[in-house]
Amino acid sequence: MISVYILASISIGLQEVDQNIEREWRTPEELRAHVTTQAGSFDEITISTIGHTQQGQPIQCLEIARESTIAIEDRSAILVVAGIDGNHLLGSEVAIELVAHLLAMDSEATRTLLETHKLFVIPQVNPDVAQHYFIPASAEIVKNNKPVDDDNDGFVDEDSPEDINGDGHITMMRVPDLEKATHIVDPETPRLNATPDALQGTSAEFVLYSEGIDNDNDGKYNEDAIGGVDINKNFMHGYQFHGDGAGVWQLSESESKALADFAFAHQEIAFILVYGQHDTLSKTFKDSGNDNAGAPKTLHKGDVKLYEKVSESFKKFTDVKNTTQPNWDGSFVAWAYAQYGVPAFSTPLWSRPDPSKKGDAAEETAYENGESESSDNGSGRDEGRRPGGMGSFDREAMIAEFDSDGDGELNADERVAFRESMQDRFGGNRPQGGGRSGGRPGGRRAQSNSDGNQTQPEKDSNLTPSGVGDISQETLDELYQAALNAGYPVSEEDMAEITPEQVEQYAKMSGVEIRRVQNNNRDEKPAAGDAAWLVYSDDQRKGEGFIDWTPFNHPQLGEVEIGGWVPYFKTVPTVDVVETRAKEQAEFLVDIANKLPNVHFGTPTVKQLGKTTWEVTISVINDGWFPSGTAMAKSNKRARPFVVRLNTDNSNIITGQKVQRIWSLDGGGSQQWFTWVVQAKPKSSMEATLYSEKFGSESVKITMQQNNGGEK
Amino acid sequence: MNRIITTLILLFATSTAWAQAPYPSKVDLRFDHWYDYGEMTKALHELVEAYPNLLSIKSIGNSVGGLEIWLVTLNNPKTGNDRDKTAMFIDGNIHGNEIQAAETVLYSIWYLCKSYGKIERLTDLIDERAFYFVPMENPDGREVWFHQPATPHFLRGGIRPVDNDHDGLKDEDGPDDLDGDGHITSMWIQDELGRYKIDEEDPRFFSRVGQGDAPGGWSRLGEEGIDNDDDGRINEDGIGGYDPNRNWPADWQPEWIQYGATDYPFSLPETKAIGDFLLDHPNVAAAQSYHNAGGMILQGPSASYMRYPSADNRTHTEIANKGGEMLPFYEPMIAYKDLYTVHGGEDGFTYEGLGIISFTNELWTDKRMRANGNDPTEEERKLFRDNLQFEDVYVPYKEIDHPTYGKIMVGGTTKYSSRVTPPWMLEEGCHRNFAFTMFHADEMPLLSWGALDVTSIGNNLWKVTVEVANDKIIPSRTGMAARHHIGTPDILTCKTTSRNDVAASGTVRSLLSTSKLQRIKSENPNRIVVNNGISGKGSTMFQFIIDGKGDVVFTYVAEKGGSLTRTVSLKEQFVPKPIEHKRAISPQQ
């Protein structure tokens, strides 16, 4: 079995983690068994159970620490949590595998993490939901099995989706029901669905349901599936009372409660990293104002820089592109940051990679799909047909060619022939069904321009839309003028029928700069995302991500088409990603560990003011990189302060508070100074203590005699 | 002599025959008395033992300190199971120092039991509804008030240790009863620069000197206590430091926004126990919490950014206004507007989370000292304290030796001096509040069949109109419940036989021929989901177009308001809505 294989390779004493393991995604039970075995092999690993799921599965926690002069209980900790999102298998695997990498890394490099600090890993908070991946023909599930009447009809969980065409997946159904219709086939990409636009002359043709039958005969399809609550919506910050999947109240689920209770029981946690759907690391994470009660919705303004810097660090190790950010409300990472009060980050570790090579990808698609140069395939890709030298256009020759009556000019008929020839030569498609101009996202086409000229067109919202892609009317006017100036027989009718491809070609020929209107068409953004997923699926995953629409005779709905995204395709990558990420993340965590706050006393200074009167000064220094508390933690007073105490009777203190607090201390060597004037016998001593729930304690003995003290 | 004796015997006999009111209870309880946890527990159990046909008691959980949270169910099993009836939930004393809340709840149980079978109006109410009572939500806090040196404000929260002053220690420096009189009072010290003086007119007390005047020679040191942890501050971290009435889930906010909220909602066993109970009892349609003080009948919202459906605002206001009439010197108020913002409060949860019409009453107002609706003047307060309370609400100042300050005076007002109802005025306060809750309970939804109309519209085709009525103020589904799909919606079903079939269904505005069916398009016209319920003091006319002959059976099932069944024969008929006036004069013809 796989777990045995891994155990064998480690116990043989290999320094490197075996990179060539045949991997598969492991069930929650297999993961737990593997973790238990790992813990048996390494002294550094201690496992415990932090709670149980609704179905009674234990939620494992690993504590990873190496014995050193610093007692393990006194160390601050990094917490890695994964698998809160029940569909996020990658995170759980990486969380577990990175431990092996960590322990196989060179001892010196990992010293700070393993000997000064410690690491908690909770690899799979939500195994109940994760195991759906392993159930054949399951939909992609994020909610647990708690009975919820999703459609408020008095029945609970009465209509779940089914794999009715037996293709092994639950996908979608396109149902031609004009009364209920909401979508049309996306004219750009027929595998996708689009919303119709009456002004484009399109109207809805079908309605989309998830695959299945109407189990409760209420005319609705799969409207009340089994379940449930999404654990990652069940936390306090931004909690949506009565929200979809939010649960009956905060921490109503045993999994979320177990995780919160763990955090509360371990106040030494100073940094949290979540592997899950949210992303605070691959893109700039911003503040977005306050909620009704006055709490920052996402980031506190004062933490934006900190998050940027950590994001930069992260990107040195792991490159994740094209993530989407789900709603922040009620998530664990949101709560960990805004209420628990520590730097908390999240990354999905993987999303759709960029295409391997832009032009190539497009061309490959064209050929693979059997598109020929001149066919109107409705996919809108004509890059393959772009002729070579576009260079300068020989006007004289062209006129000579079409001037059939030889009068040196082109009359109306001659111009028609000229126009058609131009279209054929320069790849202007005959108009596609359902809309030739305007609605087509010209911007996208520009990006697939293989000579790379206009991959990042500038968009200007002060320009006027022309209805030709996102090309501005101003540009068309310029082109027209340029054509006229150059003597091209271009008429206004030509301009009225011009296509974006023609504009690009003419612009090149004439030297006119194409200025595009800012594209505010919201329908296009999702299409672009999904269309890009299709490219990825076709190019890099042999098309296995999408099931082509296939007719099916539905017992209740008649002729429908079944197809769509394969469940988990967009969230669970190929399993080889685990190994890469595990190695990268182990290194990232070591990097973070070396940046954690290191708070300690400086050397105390004692100045004699009188026979038995002394001025005692001491500083508290943070020479880690992270501040001891985020700006958020300072606001929410959640971060317990450092407590500085001068242990002598209060009556001996002439000035200065006996007990003082530091709510937060910036990193980089920042110091905060404390001074007392005390009364004491010469050569007597008193103790100053520094106490922190999170960063441990320290005490220093101060002797009453003049010294020149420590750094100032 | 014989005549005198006979007269006396006759008088005696007649006087016992006229002993109608007050109705005696099988359990002799006094309401000029405060019951600590032990006494309250005993009283509750005695009542349950004495009225087993109406009462049952169980513990729904334990406080932090291990005391039981008692819940008493009042229900007449002969008229149905409590879960099958619409119920009211009444609790109090979530703040440990707000003690008279528990007596008010105790009074309610006691009064209802002894009135059953004697006062018809209350007998009807008990037969129709069910009641759940939790007199002591915070028994730990209550016990501290009773048995530890306390003040009118202590102990508001619970006894779970909390580091109030963020010095790494928990509950290390609370108040201390330095003079051993069983009260936490205040400390005063002689101070040449002090802004207080011994009042010339009433030398029992200190008073402040005027703005520009010379110092009075005294300063107030604060609450009685010593610096137990030697950090230079006195009493900065005693028992408590959280507020159980900020621990509920709706609009719960963390500590820095809402003091006392603790780490997360329902982190306290006391609140969680009630939350779980209410979630499990969707038949609860009215909730009342008792607190002190201020003479208020509070409704939500508790935060300015919360918006309640206006129909629910009207429902709350209508009931609260009636309360204002029943409770002199109490004002109906909207929490965030007229009092202050509360995040995570209990009545916010019962309404916003569970869709239950809820109130919080702040028991006792100083206005009752004068009984003319005004706040008492200084003179009036003096009269009350000295001549009606016989000075029994303060401790005269005496000198003690303080470890830090040396010679100081300790004394002042005690926990009896404010917020708690003077015992000799307690019963009336209990009764009026109890009566208000009985009005609220009576106005919980009570569904009934209204009119019935069956009209033939073709060959064996019938238009059957059934009216479901609710003559009470509270709708069967509050706007909040409808909006957020709380619980199960009301369902109206028409059960057909093999001889008949429902073609279409929906609602109609009236029975006039011009009123067309507002059809609800559905695959199952037999079953109508009524998410909005039946409105308060209103009705809905449902109409079914039925094909066939024979009988059909209509059933209306609501979580709150009761369930109804009616068999209707498919033949032309009209039955008007039955109007019932209880206890109306109706001479037999």
- B394-402, strands of its sheet edge to edge: B206-208, B196-198, B218-223, B186-190, B406-413, B394-402
Mean pLDDT of chain B: 94
Please tell me if residue B529 touches chain A, with a CB cutoff of 8 Å.
yes
Q: Are residues A458 and A441 in the same domain?
A: yes
Nearest to B489 among A152, A295, A641 (CB): A152
Q: Are residues A203 and A179 in the same domain?
A: yes
Mean pLDDT of chain A: 82
Among residues A324, A323, A332, which one has the least CA distance to residue A350? Answer: A323
Chain B CB contacts of A631 under 8 Å are none
Q: Are residues A216 and A267 in the same domain?
A: no
Q: Is residue A528 in a domain?
A: no
Q: Is residue A420 in a domain?
A: yes
| pLDDT at residue A461 tops 90 | no
Strand partners for A702: A686
**Chains A and B: how many Cβ contacts under 8 Å?**
102
Chain B CB contacts of A152 under 8 Å are 485, 489, 529, 531
Under a CB-based contact definition with an 8 Å cutoff, are residues A533 and A454 in contact? no
Q: What is the mean pLDDT of residues A525-544?
A: 82
| pLDDT at residue B283 tops 50 | yes
Give B468→chain A minimum CA distance, Å: 19
Chain B CB contacts of A242 under 8 Å are 484-486
Q: What is the mean pLDDT of residues A92-117?
A: 92
**B257/A295 CB distance under 8 A:** yes
Instruction: In whole angstroms, give the CA distance from residue B330 to residue B461.
Output: 58
Q: Is residue A213 in a domain?
A: yes
Q: What is the mean pLDDT of residues B57-70?
A: 98
pLDDT of residue A10: 40
What letter would DSSP give residue B176? Answer: -
Q: How far is CA A132 from the centre of its chain?
A: 22
Residue of higher predicted confidence among B246 and A664:
B246
Q: What is the mean pLDDT of residues B106-125?
A: 97
pLDDT tens-digit map of B457-508: 999 999 999 999 999 999 999 999 999 999 999 999 999 999 999 999 999 9
| pLDDT at residue A387 tops 50 | no
Give A694→chain B minimum CA distance, Å: 11
Nearest to B256 among A636, A657, A658 (CB): A636
Please tell me if residue B254 touches chain A, with a CB cutoff of 8 Å.
yes
Q: Are residues A495 and A385 in the same domain?
A: yes
Give B354→chain A minimum CA distance, Å: 10
Q: Considering just the CA atoms, what is the radius of gyration of chain A in Å?
A: 33
Chain A CB contacts of B255 under 8 Å are 636-638
Residue of A nearest to B482 (CA): A152
| pLDDT at residue A15 tops 80 | no
Q: Is residue A215 in a domain?
A: yes
Residue of A nearest to B230 (CA): A650
pLDDT tens-digit map of A189-228: 899 999 998 898 889 999 999 999 999 988 899 999 988 9
Give the total number of structural domains in chain A.
Answer: 4
Chain B CB contacts of A295 under 8 Å are 253-254, 257
* pTM reported for the whole predicted model: 0.83
Q: Percent of chain A having pLDDT more than 70?
A: 81
Q: Are residues A161 and A266 in the same domain?
A: no
Please tell me if residue B249 touches chain A, with a CB cutoff of 8 Å.
yes
pLDDT tens-digit map of B392-439: 999 999 999 999 899 999 999 999 999 999 999 999 999 999 999 999
pLDDT of residue B363: 97
- Contacting B residues, span 488-527, partner chain A, CB-CB under 8 Å: 488-489, 491, 522-524
* Surface-to-core class of residue A24, CB atoms within 10 Å of its CB (0-12 exposed, 13-18 middle, 19+ buried): exposed
Instruction: In whole angstroms, give the CA distance from residue A614 to residue A148.
Output: 69
Q: Are residues A505 and A386 in the same domain?
A: yes
**B254/A636 CB distance under 8 A:** yes
Q: How far is CA B329 from the centre of its chain?
A: 18
Q: What is the mean pLDDT of residues A623-647?
A: 90
pLDDT tens-digit map of A263-272: 999 999 999 9
| Helices (H), ranges, A437-541 | 442-447, 473-485, 492-496, 500-510, 524-540
Q: Are residues A314 and A185 in the same domain?
A: no
Q: Maximum CA pair distance of chain A?
A: 121
Strands B357-363 and B284-292: parallel
Give B262→chain A minimum CA distance, Å: 11
Nearest to B265 among A249, A294, A661 (CB): A249
Instruction: In whole angstroms, give the CA distance from residue B266 to residue B274.
Output: 9
Residue A260: CATH number of its domain: 3.40.630.10
| pLDDT at residue A376 tops 80 | no
Strand, helix or coil for residue B553: strand
Which of B262, B264, B266, B519 to mutate to probe the A interface, most A CBs <10 Å?
B264
Banded model confidence at residue B527, pLDDT cuts 50, 70, 90? very high
Q: Is residue A125 in a domain?
A: yes
Q: Are residues A124 and A211 in the same domain?
A: no
The residue whose two tokens read 């979809």 is A244
The residue whose two tokens read 């519209």 is B457
Q: Are residues A173 and A201 in the same domain?
A: yes
What letter would DSSP give residue A295? Answer: -
Nearest to A640 among B166, B522, B531 (CB): B166
**A643/B488 CB distance under 8 A:** no
**A637/B256 CB distance under 8 A:** yes
Element of type H or E holding B580: none
Residue of A nearest to B248 (CA): A249
Q: Are residues A254 and A204 in the same domain?
A: no
Instruction: In whole angstroms, give the CA distance from residue A543 to residue A563.
Output: 13
Instruction: In whole angstroms, give the CA distance from residue B411 to residue B179.
Output: 9
The residue whose two tokens read 């066939």 is B548
Give the number of other CB atoms < 10 A from CB of residue A184: 19
| pLDDT at residue B16 tops 70 | no
pLDDT of residue B11: 52
- Contacting B residues, span 144-173, partner chain A, CB-CB under 8 Å: 163, 166-168
Nearest to A650 among B227, B352, B489 (CB): B227
Please tell me if residue B582 touches chain A, with a CB cutoff of 8 Å.
no
**A649/B230 CB distance under 8 A:** yes
Contacts of A230 (CB under 8 A, 6+ apart): A86, A142, A143, A144, A245, A246
Nearest to B352 among A214, A219, A241 (CB): A241
Give A267→chain B minimum CA distance, Å: 12
Element of type H or E holding A580: helix A576-593
Write out the residue range of the structural domain in which residue A124 sits.
Answer: 45-133+231-352+574-593
Under a CB-based contact definition with an 8 Å cutoff, are residues B346 and B94 in contact? yes
**B353/A241 CB distance under 8 A:** yes
Q: Is residue A117 in a domain?
A: yes
**B303/A242 CB distance under 8 A:** no
Contacts of B498 (CB under 8 A, 6+ apart): none
By a Cβ cutoff of 8 Å, what residues of chain A touch chain B?
A: 149, 152-154, 214, 217-219, 236, 239, 241-242, 248-251, 260, 264, 292-295, 339, 635-638, 640-641, 643, 645, 649-650, 653, 657-659, 661, 691, 693
pLDDT of residue A307: 96
Chain B CB contacts of A693 under 8 Å are 168
Residue B243: φ, ψ to 5°: -125, 110
Residue of B nearest to A692 (CA): B168
Q: Are residues A220 and A316 in the same domain?
A: no
Q: What is the mean pLDDT of residues B503-531?
A: 93
pLDDT of residue A475: 82
Q: Is residue A164 in a domain?
A: yes
Residue A608: CATH number of its domain: 2.60.40.150
Instruction: List Cα–Cα distances, A658 to A486, A599, A694, A699, A710, in angstroms.
Output: 88, 20, 21, 15, 21
Q: What is the mean pLDDT of residues B97-101?
A: 97
**A242/B486 CB distance under 8 A:** yes
Residue of B nearest to A153 (CA): B529
pLDDT of residue A353: 87
**A241/B343 CB distance under 8 A:** no
Q: Are residues A180 and A299 in the same domain?
A: no
Residue of B nearest to A249 (CA): B249
Q: Is residue A515 in a domain?
A: no
